[in-house]
Homo-oligomer: A and B are copies of this chain.
Amino acid sequence: MPSPLRVTVWNEYHHEKHNPEVAKHYPQGIHQVIRDGLLANDLPHVRTATLGEPEHGLSEAVLDETDVLLWWGHRRHDDVDDAIVSRVQARVLAGMGLVVLHSGHYSKIFKRLMGTACTLNWRHDGEKERLWVVAPQHPIAEGIDRYFEIEREEMYGEPFDIPTPDELIFLAWFKGGEVFRAGCTFSRGRGRIFYFQPGHETFPTYHHPMVRKVIANGVRWAAPTLTTREVPANVQRKALEPIG
């Protein structure tokens, strides 16, 4: 029987302490509400980690017990230590799942794994977003109807400077006139990455049941398979056939 999936939700935890509008929706931090959403979707093993903790809460010991890491950052991407970014990258390449949320598109770890600028167009006036399922058969779309709506969200618009995703799961329609590849998957090394666009801090997005369902689906999808394998390495090998 597979062991239970162990999840860590990382948050820079800045806006919630400095902006009352944000604190209203996320009084204990965005990470706690994301955690609540996972618990509500039958993922009981969820811890949290934040920027201000030693090693940003992402010690080797914590990562040893993390199957899937979620990442929310926005204002303080630059304050994340490069050594911790390298540590997380190495874990992903060795098989840890990673779910990158909203403004995490511009985090060091996402840019590191993509290799691109990860830029996009944006507007945080708060407008209706409608998320369309492009890949109805994909486990990340499990339990989602043809589309769902978020009453007020930040607009993220194309072009989104990412490598071509392996799979495109959701496309977003914004009332103001833009579109966005809002749910995308990537494989890097042995690890699986899911990017999901909704989640501006001034809106109650992470309380939305469909957003919560998609994130839980993404966590399950990104979970490493049971296989234990050597991590990627340059290895010298003897010939298997005569080469003389």
Contacts and interface: CB of A to CB of B under 8 A. Distances in A.
A233 interface: yes
A224 to B, nearest CB: 8
Contact of A225 (B142, B164, B174, B189): B142
Interface stretch (A28-36, A63-71, A176-184, A203-211): A176-184
Nearest to A173: B179
Given A173-B173, A236-B123, A134 B163 contact: no
Total copies of the chain: 4
A127 B176 contact: no
Interface in A169-227: 171-179, 181, 186-191, 224-227
Contacts of A238: 123
Given A161-B93, A240-B176, A240-B177, A234 B122 contact: yes
A89 to B, nearest CB: 8
A133 B178 CA distance: 11
A232 interface: yes
Contacts of A164: 166-168, 187
A128 interface: yes
> Of A93, A95, A186, A232, which is in contact with the most chain B CB atoms at under 10 Å from its CB?
A232
Interface in A122-158: 122-123, 125, 127-128, 130, 132-137, 139, 141-143, 146, 155, 157-158
Contact of A243 (B146, B160, B176, B186): B176
A130 B147 CA distance: 20
A106 B177 CA distance: 28
A181 to B, nearest CB: 8
B172 A179 contact: yes
Interface of A: 89, 93, 95, 106, 112-117, 119-123, 125, 127-128, 130, 132-137, 139, 141-143, 146, 155, 157-161, 163-164, 166-168, 171-179, 181, 186-191, 224-227, 229, 231-243
20 contacts: A89-B115, A93-B117, A116-B188, A117-B189, A117-B232, A123-B236, A132-B157, A133-B159, A134-B181, A136-B159, A137-B225, A137-B229, A142-B226, A155-B239, A161-B189, A163-B163, A163-B188, A171-B171, A175-B243, A178-B237
